[in-house]
Amino acid sequence: MTLSVRARLQREAFTLDVDIELPPVGVTSLFGRSGCGKTTLLRIIAGLERVRGAEVRFGSQVWQQRRHFVPLHRRRIGLVFQEHSLLQHLSVRGNLLYGYKRTPKELRRLHLREATDMLGIGELLDRPIDHLSGGQRQRVSLGRALLTSPQLLLLDEPMAALDSQTKREIMPFLSRMASEAGVPIVLVTHAPDEVERLADRVVFMRDGRVECSEPLRQALARPDSPLFADDGAASVLEGVLGPLNEHGLRPFGVESARLWLPNVDSVPSGQRLRVRIHARDVSLALDDPRRISIQNHLRVTIERIGSPRAGRSVVATRTADQQLLLAEVTPWAVEKLGLEPGMEPYALIKSVALMG
């Protein structure tokens, strides 16, 4: 079963021309600069944009072909946009149940308690909408969309209107929703950190066309990945988060590749999550330095050393549990330390550089 879209749209100086098939599982991110056609493609999938000659299929369902066109309300799609569209005259509970009550009982797969637990909004049920923060409103919007029991969830830059602090607060809830809801998600974003934290697959778009579609791991393994264009190379490690210790840190990952993270209040112990680490925040040492303030020392194996760019080289290493960890060092450091594939140096990572 796939989600397939074939469409060509000409609008003044802009042309959208796509022909793509996506697996309807996990999180697929449509990534690219503003104006590249991401939202237009999402609107075509949703049925909000009717393009002549387009074809849209979801598994065995034909949503658009020739004169046949299935409107949005019959596609069973959940939609969440940049700005929340909550009903001001209803409480949080009323908003959450608005679509739920209109979903036939036999189609309901998710219920109120499950959605509120997943998104951490159980204590907000009786609040008016205008008494919520921006992050809380967006979580309620996500919950309302989920409670319609959609077969596909479309998110159009759901964090673009949030400030940095609120975005950091809502990210763990989005990550949890993606892993627990059991609904395929298409996420539109131009923020690499959102892709790296949430996506399983990335569709890179440029000037109205799809440049390539690939698994996130493959995209992160490419030194020329568009995800690195603005903020530099980064790694994404996956693992289980442990309980808080007496120093205010939490263990992350298997013992042989253990990291210590600052407290993340919104993530319970035992929760599996991703951690994004900038390559520029990773140093390499031939010996394990004991008398140093950096507490995260991982024994790694060098896989390859990239060609110098702007006076820096990206060294690709593997942790003990075979996850890719990138380090950015100077060519002089590569020469001085005699770094080469197969060596097993220590990767040093500052705790404050880790973003859960």
Distance from C-alpha of 76 to C-alpha of 53, rounded to nearest angstrom: 22
DSSP β-bridge partners for residue 227? none
Q: Render the burial of 227-256: b for 16+ CB within 10 Å, e for the rest.
A: bbeeebbbbbbebebbebeeeebbbbbeee
Q: Distance between CA atoms of 71 and 227, rounded to whole angstroms? A: 34
Q: What is the mean pLDDT of each run of 10 residues along the chain (356 residues)?
A: 93 93 92 94 96 95 95 93 87 95 91 90 94 91 93 92 80 80 91 91 96 94 88 91 91 94 80 89 93 92 93 95 96 96 95 61
Q: Which residue has the tokens 């998710």?
A: 110
pLDDT, position 88: 92
The model scores a pTM over 0.85 = yes
pLDDT at 85: 83
Contacts of 106 (CB under 8 A, 6+ apart): none
Residue 266: what pLDDT?
67
Per-residue pLDDT, 84: 75
Residue owning tokens 């036999």: 106
Cα 23-29-31 angle, rounded to 5 deg: 135
Distance in angstroms (rounded) separating the CA atoms of residues 213 and 90: 41
Domains and CATH numbers, the chain: 3-226 (3.40.50.300), 234-354 (2.40.50.100)
